[in-house]
Amino acid sequence: MNVQHIAAFSRGEAGGNPAGVALLAQMPPDAEMQRVATEVGYSETAFVVPRESGYRVRYFAPDGEVPFCGHATIALGAVLAGVHGRGDYSLTLNEAQIHVSAEQTQEGWQITLLSPPTSFRPVEAPLAKRVLDLFGWDHSDLDPSVPIVRINAGAEHLLIALRDHALLQNMSYEFSAGAALMREFGLVTIDLIWRETDVLFHSRNPFAGHGVYEDPATGAAAAALGGYLRDAGLAYGAFDVIQGADMGMPSHIHVAPLPGTGQPVRISGLTRAISA
């Protein structure tokens, strides 16, 4: 199987979150996709089959399938652009229909995805306590303007906003405990953020439930964050997310929520090819 290696949300010739992209004639068995994704070892590998109206896409992490992956979709947009050129491509996921578009810039392919619809809901008290214990934090470490909440834009995330940058930079947790917690509560990632300004956020995303300690750039979580901030009345308009810097893989995600409660969010970033 030919798997292309693309970093999504890169900054020049560095950073970004690596993803595998496999363009195929037909979808392989689940066990084969899981084997390949585990062997590739990236946060996700996208398996893609052409359809009459676009493409069917499934995403596998090293330890299981996820319903939607933003950075692998951005990587897929770059691969489709390399084959077909600039344009808009329709993608059918397990639970949603989305679009990805490609534009050529002086810095390379600029890819934009339109996320699934967004939603949010209150966090369960036991989960809030256990997740703070996992990272060794308490409520005094949190940004009081943003509650702990479940957010979704095609995949479920737990949002935790911290009161200062140092807490985010020094984040650590016990991997097996984090994996068990995330699986128990059905979380794809835990989205840890610090707001520098109203239009600039810093983020880190533990992804232990699917076999990865930390994700360098998480487009699905950024989309869910944009939808939540809009729908909760905490902010509205475009903003940027810096992620991966604390793990040596600086990444830049541009977030632009569409108007209207629950509406999708546009997520944009640059890409670069990786020598496998």
Per-residue pLDDT at 276: 61
Asked whether this chain's domains 4-112 and 119-269 adopt the same fold, the reply is: yes
* Tens of pLDDT, residues 140-158: 999 999 999 999 999 999 9
Per-residue pLDDT at 109: 86
Q: What is the DSSP letter of 115?
A: P
Which of the four pLDDT bands, split at 50, 70 and 90, describes residue 176? very high
- Average pLDDT along the chain: 96
pTM for the structure as a whole: 0.96
Which of the four pLDDT bands, split at 50, 70 and 90, describes residue 236? confident
Which of the four pLDDT bands, split at 50, 70 and 90, describes residue 106? confident
The DSSP-derived string for 30-82 is: HHHHHHHHHHH-SSEEEEEEEETTEEEEEEEETTEEES--HHHHHHHHHHHHH
Does the structural domain 4-112 have CATH classification 3.40.50.300?
no
Which of the four pLDDT bands, split at 50, 70 and 90, describes residue 196? very high
Domain 119-269 classification at class level: alpha beta
- State yes or no: pLDDT of 203 exceeds 70: yes
Half-sphere exposure of 89 (CA within 13 A, CB side): 32
Per domain, the residue ranges of the chain are 4-112, 119-269
